[in-house]
Amino acid sequence: MNDKLNNLSVGEAQACVLRYVPPGGSEAVPLEQSLGRVLTEDVRANRDLPPCDVSAMDGFAVRSNDLVGDDTVLTVIGDIKAGDRPRQAIASGQCARIMTGAPLPPGADAIVRVEDTQALSGARIGIAAPVKAGKDIRVQGEVMQNGETALAAGTEITPGAVGVLASLKRARVSVRRRPRVAILSSGDELEALDAPFDPERIPESNAYALMAQTQALGIEPVYLGIARDDPEELAGCLRQGLAHDVLLVSGGSSVGAHDHVRPTLEALGVTLHFWGVEMKPGHPVAFGTRDQHLVFALPGNPVSSMVCFEQFVLPALRAFMGHARLFRRTVTATLTQAVKHRPGRAEFVRVTLQRDANGRLTAASAGGQGSDNLCSMARADGLLILPEHCAGLAAGATARVQLFDGAGFEVASGFMEKMEETP
Ligand code: AMP
Ligand code: MG
């Protein structure tokens, strides 16, 4: 084996994968289905927003020059609501009642809020204090100007962006397509979810966890089932998987007597770009391509396959879909306990996160760290990173933690009183 292919660092392996990710083509989708996708076109404003100077408040449109001293009295000459087109000019000593979003009438140059006025008899109001020209006016085009690029190609469509696109009357938008992802498990010992219970066998869980990780990125994967440790059966399943943009196969990727995945992939014309990454868990991961199709041979151990998905598959799928942010966000957290580590391989520790009384984020082990222990994976908020050169960390030291999806949410609101305990 060429040693450039073997035992890469996590960073080298990530860079290698990203070199081979083809850009997904684009497709038009209805606006309501565009959330989370990436725009492939610049979207320009087709009008000024707001379309003219409008009021930012419910109140009265006035001439600021009229309000020089205290206690000015003005005559109300009209009522303007959003969508009206006021033509009558406000003359000195006059004002108009105006609602939020309604166009400013000619002559007026400021808004006085209802709360700052006093209703008087005979369609008149009293205003106690002066107001500056421009007060509480939204200027024409201040949100966006006709012709300007409101959202550039490459923008990820957030709920706010959906609102912008609706304002621009874009019922359909052009976005990067999603990859077709196939997921295969391999191993004679595996018991399918719907197979009869057999205490001697190992329940197949990898494909389900990998499917969930894929779905969390907005991609609906295809499950190809379980291939037995038989080169011919395996070849048939892998051939089917290679028809997809991305194939994930777990198990059989190591050097055991029954690990046929790598030689079978090569026999099918897949070029392997690396196998073996200096990481724990996840060392036996391999990556290859055939034409523009990507194949990840993930380790069989359930946590290892999930951690390898996070490090290598996730950025590849996001790159395919056009995202600029390819990796999980990391935060710095303080360790509540010491973590042992021998320099050599980068290590990913399953941790839970909590905020302490001083507002600091703290990380504690989520439980047993065996690469078969899915329970600690299920509890974890993220993966604490021990870089390959690290010689262990003491309690109170800080480290980076890659956040899982659920860790984007908090128990406390920061505004509310403590939640009532449920009886
Ligand atoms: P392997 O890489 O095939 O040697 O598998 C390593 C370990 O992971 C073995 O104990 C397997 O039983 C287990 N394993 C492999 N594939 C799966 C799977 N799909 N679901 C659960 N465990 C698995
Ligand atoms: Mg196996």
pLDDT, tens digit, 9 for 90 and up, residues 5-53: 899 999 999 999 999 999 899 999 999 999 999 999 999 999 999 999 9
Are 128 and 147 members of one domain? no
Q: Identify the CATH number of the domain in which residue 262 sits.
A: 3.40.980.10
Is the peptide bond between 30 and the residue preceding it cis, with omega within 30 degrees of 0? no
Is the peptide bond between 22 and the residue preceding it cis, with omega within 30 degrees of 0? no
Decide whether any atom of ligand 1 lies within 6 Å of the 304 Cβ. Answer: no
Decide whether any atom of ligand 1 lies within 6 Å of the 281 Cβ. Answer: no
Reduce the DSSP state of residue 196 to 3 states and report it: coil
Which atom number of ligand 1 is nearest to the Cα of residue 202? 12
- Ligand number nearest to the C-alpha of 208: 1
Which atom number of ligand 1 is nearest to the Cα of residue 207? 19
Which atom number of ligand 1 is nearest to the Cα of residue 185? 19
Distance 35 CA to ligand 2 centre (A): 38
Rounded alpha-carbon distances, angstroms, from residue 153 to 65, 94, 114, 176, 324: 46, 48, 43, 10, 11
Are 32 and 117 members of one domain? no
> Does the residue 19 lie in any domain?
yes
> Does the residue 160 lie in any domain?
yes
C-alpha triplet 331, 336, 338: angle, nearest 5°: 105
Distance 199 CA to ligand 2 centre (A): 18
Are 171 and 278 members of one domain? no
Number of domains in the chain: 4
Reduce the DSSP state of residue 289 to 3 states and report it: strand
pLDDT digits (tens, 9 = 90+) for 218-249: 999 999 999 999 999 999 999 999 999 999 99
Matching residue, tokens 């289905």: 33
Distance 300 CA to ligand 2 centre (A): 6
Are 62 and 39 members of one domain? no
Distance 304 CA to ligand 1 centre (A): 10
Are 198 and 296 members of one domain? yes
Are 291 and 194 members of one domain? yes
Listed residue (261, 250, 239) closest to 185, CA to CA: 250
Distance 174 CA to ligand 2 centre (A): 42
Query: What confidence score (pLDDT) does residue 390 get?
Result: 96
Ion ligand 2, residue ranges at CB < 5 A:
187, 251-252, 300
Strands 246-250, 293-298: parallel, antiparallel or unpaired by DSSP?
parallel
Going by C-beta distance under 8 Å and a sequence separation of 6 or more, which residues neighbour residue 56?
A: 100, 111, 136, 137, 138
- Ligand number nearest to the C-alpha of 203: 1
Q: Mutate which of 186, 189, 202 to test ligand 1's pocket (most atoms within 8 Å of Cβ)?
A: 202
Residues facing 175 on adjacent strands:
27, 39
Q: Mutate which of 184, 188, 191, 206 to test ligand 1's pocket (most atoms within 8 Å of Cβ)?
A: 206
Query: What sign results for the dihedral spanned by CA atoms 206, 207, 212, 214?
Result: positive
> Encoding tokens for residue 309?
């998905």
CB 296 within 8 A of CB 272: no
Spatial distance between the Cα atoms of 204 and 208, rounded to a whole number of angstroms: 8
Are 261 and 345 members of one domain? no
Q: Identify the CATH number of the domain in which residue 367 sits.
A: 2.40.340.10
> Encoding tokens for residue 403?
């956040």
What does pLDDT average to in each consecutive run of 10 residues of the chain (423 residues)? 77 98 96 98 97 98 93 97 96 98 98 97 96 97 98 98 97 98 98 97 98 98 98 98 98 92 97 97 97 98 98 98 98 97 97 94 98 98 97 97 93 79 61
Spatial distance between the Cα atoms of 322 and 113, rounded to a whole number of angstroms: 46
Q: Mutate which of 224, 254, 301 to test ligand 1's pocket (most atoms within 8 Å of Cβ)?
A: 301
CB 263 within 8 A of CB 215: no
Query: What confidence score (pLDDT) does residue 141 get?
Result: 97
Q: Identify the CATH number of the domain in which residue 76 sits.
A: 2.170.190.11
Distance 306 CA to ligand 1 centre (A): 12
Q: How many CB atoms lie within 10 A of CB 350?
A: 26
Query: What confidence score (pLDDT) does residue 421 get?
Result: 62
> Does the residue 74 lie in any domain?
yes
> Does the residue 325 lie in any domain?
no
> Encoding tokens for residue 3?
């040693």
CB 309 within 8 A of CB 250: no
Query: What confidence score (pLDDT) does residue 68 get?
Result: 84
> Does the residue 256 lie in any domain?
yes
Q: How many CB atoms lie within 10 A of CB 228?
A: 17
Query: What sign results for the dihedral spanned by CA atoms 37, 40, 46, 51?
Result: positive
Decide whether any atom of ligand 1 lies within 6 Å of the 12 Cβ. Answer: no
Distance 298 CA to ligand 2 centre (A): 11
User: Per DSSP, which regions of 234-292 are E strands?
Assistant: 246-250, 271-277, 279-280, 286-290
Are 238 and 341 members of one domain? no
Distance 370 CA to ligand 1 centre (A): 13
Rounded alpha-carbon distances, angstroms, from residue 417 to 359, 360, 361, 414, 421: 16, 19, 20, 8, 12
Which atom number of ligand 1 is nearest to the Cα of residue 250? 16
Which atom number of ligand 1 is nearest to the Cα of residue 284? 2
Q: Which of these three, 320, 349, 381, is where a domain ends?
A: 320
Strands 293-298, 286-290: parallel, antiparallel or unpaired by DSSP?
antiparallel
SS (H, E, C) 130-157: CCCCCCCEECCCCCECCCCEEECCCCEC
Query: What confidence score (pLDDT) does residue 249 get?
Result: 98
Reduce the DSSP state of residue 423 to 3 states and report it: coil
Are 283 and 268 members of one domain? yes
Rounded alpha-carbon distances, angstroms, from residue 137 to 72, 94, 101, 131: 21, 18, 9, 12
Are 45 and 58 members of one domain? no
Which atom number of ligand 1 is nearest to the Cα of residue 372? 8
Spatial distance between the Cα atoms of 311 and 303, rounded to a whole number of angstroms: 12
Q: Which residue type occupies 78?
A: G
Spatial distance between the Cα atoms of 108 and 324, rounded to a whole number of angstroms: 46
Are 269 and 304 members of one domain? yes
Query: What confidence score (pLDDT) does residue 2 get?
Result: 46
pTM of the model: 0.95
Query: What sign results for the dihedral spanned by CA atoms 129, 130, 135, 137?
Result: positive
Distance 251 CA to ligand 1 centre (A): 5
**Which range marks the domain in which residue 106 is found?**
54-137
CB 225 within 8 A of CB 185: yes
Spatial distance between the Cα atoms of 242 and 228, rounded to a whole number of angstroms: 18
Decide whether any atom of ligand 1 lies within 6 Å of the 256 Cβ. Answer: yes
Are 205 and 261 members of one domain? yes
Listed residue (81, 82, 87, 62) closest to 72, CA to CA: 62
Decide whether any atom of ligand 1 lies within 6 Å of the 185 Cβ. Answer: yes
Distance 252 CA to ligand 1 centre (A): 8
